[in-house]
Structure 1
Amino acid sequence: MKKGPGRLGRSVLAVPTAALLCACAGCGDQGGLESAGPTPTAVGPERLWPTLPPATRAADDYGAEETAVVKGVEVPGGKLRDVDPVTIVRARVAAAPDDYKDIAADVADCPASKDCPVLGGYYRDLTGDGRDDLLVAVRAPHRQAYLQTYTYSGGKLTQIMDDKDAVLKVHLAGRNIVVRAAADLSGYEYRTSWSYDGHQKAMLPTRDEILRTGSSHTPDAPSPSRS
C-alpha cells in the first residue's frame, strides 16, 4: 500500500494541582524551596539541509482521501443497520472491478457462497454526526484484508475509507479505527490510527507507527509495500 503520513506523537507531563500548591506554600518542616541544580539549556529543532529545494508534489499516502459514492443501494430511513453489508460491498466492487480484481469473483458469489469473504459489519458513529457508520472487513488472497468504512449523509451512501493491508487485528477506540498489521521486519508490526477528518470528509491515517512486538516470528505473508 501507499505510505501514510509520518508517525505522530506527543508526551504530556501532568503536574498534580496539590503538588503545585504545596510547592508554592512551602509545605513541610524545612520551609522554602530547594534548588534542583542548574537548568539545562533548551535545544530547539535544528533544520537540516537548508538548501534542499521544496517538493514539487506531495508524497503518496495510502487510502487517504479516497472516497466514492455507492450507487444502487437503498438505505431505508438513512439507517445503515438495515442494509446488508454484503450488498454494499458487492455494489462497490461492481462499480470498480479493476480496483478489486483479487476479490471480485468471490464477492460476486456472496452471500450464497460459504466462502464469502465479507465479514460481519460493525457500527459506530465515526463521523460525529450522531448516526451509525459501517465498518466492513473483506478477506483477500495472501492473508490480506480490505478495511472499508461507509457513511450515509445527505441522501448519499459514501465510502470514506478503503485500506488494504496484512491485518492482524482491528480495534475501535472511540471514533478511531486502530489497525495492527504485519510488518516486513521480524518482531515488529505496523499500527495505524484512522480518524475522520471533517474538512476532507474522509477517514485519514492520523497516526502511523512501527512497533516492536517482542516476537521473532516473520509473518508468512508480509504486508504490502509502504513505499
Structure 2
Amino acid sequence: MPPSRPTRVALAVAAAALLASAAAACGDAGGLQGAGATPTAISPDRLWPGLTPASSPAFEIGELETEVVKGVTVPDGDIHEVDPVAVVRAEIAAHPGDYGPGAYEETARRMTYCGKSGAAGRECPVLKAYYRDLTGDGHDDMTLGIRQLPGNLTAVRVYTVRDHKLVQVMHYEDAVSGVELAGRSVIIRSPSEVAGYEYRLQWTWDQQQHAMLLTHDEMLRIGGPRTSPSDSPSASVTASASGR
C-alpha cells in the first residue's frame, strides 16, 4: 500500500535534510569548480577573397585511377586464390614504359626469381600480400607491395573483386618506411627531408567513387633528431606527387 501524502511529504523533508547534512560534511567535494576564463573564440580569416577559383586540380596523385587487371582471373570470386606474382606480371605487361629502360627495369628483371626458394627467392620484388575488407562489402581485399628497382621505392597497391574481375583501386609509390591497415584505410609513412619528422598519407575507401582516396597528407614529428635523408628519393618523389 503506497504511503499517504503527509507521510510522503515527511519522507521528502527527511531526505532533503540528509542530503544537506551530507553536503555539509563533505564540503565542496564533487561540486562544480571554475575552470577560469574561457578563451575568446576566433573565427578563421579568409585571405584574398577576390582570388579567382582554381579551375583544375593543383596536382594529380592518381586518386581515381582504377583499372581492371587484365589477364588475371579470380577463381570463385575469392581474392585469396589470386596469385600476387601474376598480378605484378600483369601490371608490368600493361605498363611496359614504367618497367623498361630508365625506369623500374630491375624490378621486371627480378621477377624471374619469384617462386624460387632460398636466396634466389628473396630477390623477388613482390612482397607478401595482406588481406582485409577495406571496401566494406564483407569480402577481403588485397594489399600488395612491390620493390621498385633501381632505387629504394616501394609501390603499394590495393585490389578488390568487382563482377568477378580483379580491380586495382589504389596505387602509390614512394620511399616507404611503413605501411599500416586501419579500418577502411591504408596508412603510408615516408621519411622526410626534415630531421625528426615523417610524411604520413592516409588512403580511405570512398563508396561513391569506388576507389581509395587520399584523405590525409601530413607531416608529423616522430622523435628526436636523426640524420636527414637528403639523398633519399622521397624528397623528389613526394614533392612531385603531392606538390610539396
TM-score, length-scaled by structure 2: 0.75
**Equivalence for 2:176:** 167
Instruction: Tell me the secondary structure at the aligned position of residue 71 of structure 1.
Output: strand
**Equivalence for 2:56:** 57
**Equivalence for 2:228:** 218
Q: Distance in 1 between matches of 2:225 and 2:62?
A: 28
Q: Distance in 2 between matches of 1:59 and 1:95?
A: 28
Shift of 1:91: 0.7
Instruction: Tell me the secondary structure at the aligned position of residue 216 of structure 1.
Output: coil
Shift of 1:68: 1.0
**Equivalence for 2:136:** 128
Q: Distance in 2 between matches of 1:189 and 1:131?
A: 32
Q: For residues 108 and 162 of structure 1, do their structure 2 counterparts lie closer, same or farther at Cα, with a shift above 3 Å needed?
A: farther
* Matched ranges for 1:202-213 at <5 A: 202-213=211-222
Q: Distance in 2 between matches of 1:66 and 1:99?
A: 16
Q: Who wins on radius of gyration, i.e. which is larger?
A: 2
**Equivalence for 2:203:** 194
Shift of 1:109: 5.6
Aligned residues between the structures:
202
1:40-89: CA deviation from partner (whole Å, max 9, x where unpaired): 33211110111211112111242311211111111111111112101111
- Does residue 106 (structure 1) correspond to residue 115 (structure 2)? The answer is no
1:4-35: CA deviation from partner (whole Å, max 9, x where unpaired): xxxxxxxxxxxxxxxxxxxxxx9964497565
Deviates more, 1:176-185 or 1:118-127: 176-185
Deviates more, 1:186-195 or 1:130-139: 186-195
Contact 1:118–1:137 (Cα < 8 Å) also in 2: yes
* Matched ranges for 1:1-227 at <5 A: 29-30=27-28, 35-100=34-99, 101-102=103-104, 103-107=107-111, 110-112=114-116, 114=121, 115-140=123-148, 141-213=150-222, 214-219=224-229, 220-223=231-234, 224-226=237-239, 227=243
1:160-192: CA deviation from partner (whole Å, max 9, x where unpaired): 111001000111112211111111222221111
Contact 1:175–1:195 (Cα < 8 Å) also in 2: yes
Q: Distance in 1 between matches of 2:138 and 2:80?
A: 14
TM-score, length-scaled by structure 1: 0.80
1:85-129: CA deviation from partner (whole Å, max 9, x where unpaired): 011111122111223440333336634563110011000001000
Structure number having the greater helix percentage: 2
**Equivalence for 2:16:** none
Q: Percent identity of the aligned residues?
A: 48
Q: Distance in 2 between matches of 1:225 and 1:95?
A: 24
Instruction: Tell me the secondary structure at the aligned position of residue 73 of structure 1.
Output: strand
Q: Distance in 1 between matches of 2:39 and 2:33?
A: 17
Contact 1:183–1:222 (Cα < 8 Å) also in 2: no
Shift of 1:36: 4.3
Give the counterpart letter for 2:142 in structure 1. L
Contact 2:205–2:211 (Cα < 8 Å) also in 1: yes
**Deviation beyond 6 Å, 4+ runs, structure 1:** none
Give the counterpart letter for 2:154 in structure 1. A
Q: Distance in 1 between matches of 2:144 and 2:35?
A: 55
